[in-house]
Amino acid sequence: MAFQDDIKIRSFNYEIDRRRIEDFEQKCEVGTSKRVFLFTDTMGDPICRIRNSPQYKMLVAELDNELVGVIQCSIKIATVGSSIKDQARVAYILGLRVDPCHRRKGIGLSLVNRLEEWFVANHVDFAYMATDKENEASVKLFTDKLGYIKFRTPAILVHPVGVRRIHISPTVEITKLKIEDAEHLYRRFMGSTEFFPDDIDRVLRNKLSLGTWVAYPQGESWIDIKSGQLPTNWTMVSVWNSGDLFKLRVGKAPLSCLMYAKSSRLIDRAFPCLRIPVFPDVFHPFGFYFMYGLHQHGPRSNVLVRSLCRFVHNMAKELEEDCRVIVTEVGRRDTVRLHIPHWKMLSCAEDLWCMKALTKEAQDTLFVLTTQPSMASRALFVDPREV
Ligand SMILES: CC(C)(COP(=O)(O)OP(=O)(O)OC[C@H]1O[C@@H](n2cnc3c(N)ncnc32)[C@H](O)[C@@H]1OP(=O)(O)O)[C@@H](O)C(=O)NCCC(=O)NCCS
């Protein structure tokens, strides 16, 4: 208890904390302990991952004026339930880090407790967080100590940006939508999707959002969205340039991965005609595109999903020098997942989302959402601001 009393928790102060948080991040590896460590470079702005959300906060923990822990969160209104009317105030917790020399002393727990006080003061219904299911420290902290419930296990799908363009079928038309048309389609077709953000217009208008594209079969037309005249088969996706916000770097990887990375690049350089899949250079800081709001419509739209993903790949290859991977996150049993090109060795089959109800009504909703089997197979809207 004496140690707990020495810990001071306060809000992030840009002048005092900016530089030391950057150094702090470098010593706090995140990943499945024995295998891959992922480092984040926030390019001088420690709150870059939350500042695009409607409401946000970062807390720091100090011991004798030394930074020993950080945590961030954002609050928004989103669909939680099975209908567009089931909206709630949800808080997303991210970026929890404790100095490796001061772990297991209750600092992580104190930081989350303090955030939850702020959530209650701001009328939050649900708090949730995402972690690697192998991250025992994080899972135990949230489930055993804080009462979070294992909620969903979406898949993070990653595809490298290759050295050459990928062929797209000439029978597929791809068109960029106006923002207001994209908003209209999202509210109409994804409004009741779990975690769909009420301020989708703000997401689409953000400068990091590069646009929304639709794919449909050649010969059909895409003329008047608002009249409801849409092709039988179509697919849509939006793209967020996460690399403009922060960079990632793999700090430690299995030897087999490093060897494949090196040899694939050498072989491709020597024999480009073999067109072997080249492992991306993720060992130096890199950016990525995040595909969000991926939606398919019609019995023959699977091929359209693949074409649209390839289109995004080619765009990344042409426009961004350091965009090494295309990332998306979809519900584990969402069928769209089957048609998204990705590399298994770079992807994560089950990201773990844990959730806690902070009000009595929210507790009842959470009970339904976690006990009805049909709920777990629903699509999920992963907000690019929370990546
Ligand atoms: C996860 C992390 C923030 C925990 O911080 P911490 O200050 O060490 O956690 P606490 O001391 O408050 O631990 C509270 C409880 O969490 C659980 N816990 C924490 N570390 C654990 C570990 N290594 N193994 C198992 N359980 C652990 C325990 O239940 C613990 O209670 P106990 O000590 O009474 O058994 C810290 O390990 C960390 O910074 N990890 C790297 C970054 C990361 O993975 N962040 C999470 C991303 S979501």
Q: Measuring from atom 27 of ligand 1, which residue has the nearest CA?
A: 137
Which tens digits make up the pLDDT trace of 97-116? 999 999 999 999 999 999 99
CA distance 237 to 108: 36
Taking alpha carbons only, the member of 239, 274, 292, 307 closest to residue 164 is 274
51 part of a folded domain: yes
Distance 137 CA to ligand 1 centre (A): 4
pLDDT of the residue at 32: 55
Nearest alpha carbon, ligand 1 atom 19: 137
Does residue 123 register a pLDDT over 70?
A: yes
pLDDT band at 293; cut points 50, 70, 90: very high
Joined together, the tokens standing for residue 106 give: 């209750």
| Cβ contacts of 58 within 8 Å, gap of 6 or more | 11, 12, 46, 47, 50, 70, 71, 72, 73, 95
How buried is 340 (Cβ within 10 angstroms: 0-12 exposed, 13-18 middle, 19+ buried)? Answer: buried
pLDDT value of residue 203 = 98
- Between the CA of 348 and the centroid of ligand 1 the distance, in Å, is 22
Pocket test for ligand 1, best of 72, 103, 107, 352 (most atoms within 8 A of CB): 103
Q: Is there a domain that residue 276 lies in? A: yes
Q: How many domains are there within the chain?
A: 2
Which range (109-123, 188-202, 272-286, 301-315) has the least confidence? 272-286
Those residues whose C-beta lies under 8 Å from the C-beta of residue 206, and which sit 6 or more positions away, are 52, 240, 385
pLDDT band, very low/low/confident/very high, at 228 (cuts 50, 70, 90): confident
Mind listing the pLDDT tens digit for each residue in 26-47? 777 665 555 567 788 888 899 9
328: containing domain: 157-339
Atom of ligand 1 nearest to the CA of 104: 11
Reading the block at residue 354, the tokens are 């844990």
Residue 22: inside a domain: yes
Q: Are residues 121 and 247 in the same domain?
A: no
Determine which residue's CA is closest to atom 23 belonging to ligand 1.
137
Token pair in block for residue 10: 């306060």
Buried b (16+ CB within 10 A) or exposed e, 183-221: bebbeebbbbbbbbbbebebbbeeebbbebbbbbbeeee
Q: If we measure between CA atoms, which residue out of 95, 83, 89, 87 comes closest to residue 46?
A: 95
Structural domain includes residue 345: no
| Å from CA of 321 to ligand 1 middle | 37
In this structure, the answer to whether residues 50 and 146 fall within a common structural domain is: yes
Angle value at C-alpha 37, between 32 and 42, nearest 5 degrees: 125
Edge-first strand listing for the sheet containing 55-63: 7-11, 55-63, 66-79, 87-98, 126-132, 351-357, 149-152
- The closest-lying atom of ligand 1 relative to the alpha carbon of residue 93 is 48
Start-to-end Cα distance in the chain: 35
pLDDT 10s digits, 67-82? 999 999 999 999 997 7
Of all protein residues, the one whose alpha carbon is nearest to atom 10 of ligand 1 is 106
372 pLDDT above the threshold of 90: no
- If asked whether residues 285 and 265 sit together in one domain, one would say yes
pLDDT band at 277 (very low <50, low <70, confident <90, very high): confident
Residue 344 belongs to a domain: no
Domain identity same for 150 and 166: no
**pLDDT of amino acid 135:** 93
- Same domain membership, residue 283 and residue 167: yes
10 Å Cβ neighbour count for 181?
18
For ligand 1, atom 5, name the residue with the nearest CA: 108
Same domain, 67 and 108: yes
Q: Are residues 147 and 230 in the same domain?
A: no
- Nearest Cα residue to atom 20 of ligand 1: 137
> Residues with beta carbon inside 6 Å of ligand 1?
28, 30, 96-98, 103-109, 129, 131, 135-138, 140-141, 144-145
Report in angstroms the alpha-carbon separations of 91 from 114, 116, 117, 160, 224. Answer: 13, 9, 12, 31, 37
Q: How much is the average pLDDT of 62-66?
A: 94
Residue appearing with tokens 């019995």: 299
Assess whether 315 and 380 both reside in one domain: no
Residue 315 neighbours by CB distance under 10 Å: 19
Q: How far is the CA of 140 from the centre of ligand 1 (A)?
A: 7
Dist. CA 222 → ligand 1 center (Å): 51
- Shared domain for 130 and 255, answered yes or no, is no
- Token pair belonging to 130: 């995402």
Residue 346 belongs to a domain: no
Are both 80 and 176 inside the same structural domain?
A: no
The CATH number of residue 302's host domain is 3.40.630
What percentage of the chain has pLDDT greater than the value 90?
Answer: 71
**Closest Cα to atom 24 of ligand 1:** 137
> In this structure, are 166 and 41 located in the same domain?
no
Residue 331: closest CA among 190, 206, 170, 211: 190
What are the respective helix, strand and coil percentages of the chain, to the nearest 5? 35, 30, 35
Quote the tokens at residue 210: 């590069």
What is the 282 CA–ligand 1 centroid distance (Å)? 27
Domain assignment of residue 104, yes or no: yes
CATH number at residue 46: 3.40.630.30
CB atoms within 10 A of CB 122: 12
pTM over 0.75: yes
- CA angle, residues 65, 71, 75, in degrees to nearest 5: 135
Assigned token pair, 69: 């822990």
In a domain, 99, yes or no: yes
Same domain? 134 vs 173: no
Ligand 1 atom, smallest distance to 95 CA: 47
Does residue 247 carry a pLDDT above 60?
yes
| Ligand 1 atom nearest to 130, measured from its CA | 48
Site to probe by mutation for ligand 1, drawn from 49, 138, 148 as the one with most ligand atoms within 8 Å of Cβ, is 138
Which residue's CA is minimally distant from atom 32 of ligand 1? 104
